[in-house]
Amino acid sequence: MYAVIKTGGKQYRVAAGEKIKVEQIPADVGAQVVLDQVMMVGNGETVTIGKPLIAGAAVTATVISHGRADKVKIFKMRRRKHYQKHQGHRQNYTELQIGEIKG
């Protein structure tokens, strides 16, 4: 069984037992999180698609850790104008262990 969930402005295809990294969620490590924005649920040949969400569907996940992604380097330059700008960014994330999918 799998589901397509929406969190942090992105969509993820998840199945029970998987680990995923999503945008940071304000929850403690070890806490249970319920992701209720389920867009699609598939079970073998049966697929349920929401318009846009499935009413009553939810995915339960456990927070494993919080962290920061690798640095992305940003470099801006204007030729012949002596303008160069260096910048970096590290995005915060939350790692989740997917538990039960209720569809």
Mean pLDDT by 10 residues, the chain (103 residues): 96 96 97 96 93 95 98 98 98 97 89
pLDDT value at position 53? 95
Q: Are 29 and 66 in contact (CB under 8 A)?
A: yes
pLDDT value at position 27? 96
Q: Are 55 and 39 in contact (CB under 8 A)?
A: no
Q: Give the angle 69-72-76 at the CA atoms, nearest 5°.
A: 160
Structure tokens at 31: 């806490």
pLDDT value at position 103? 81
pLDDT value at position 34? 97
β-strands 46-49, 10-15: how paired?
unpaired
pLDDT value at position 91? 97
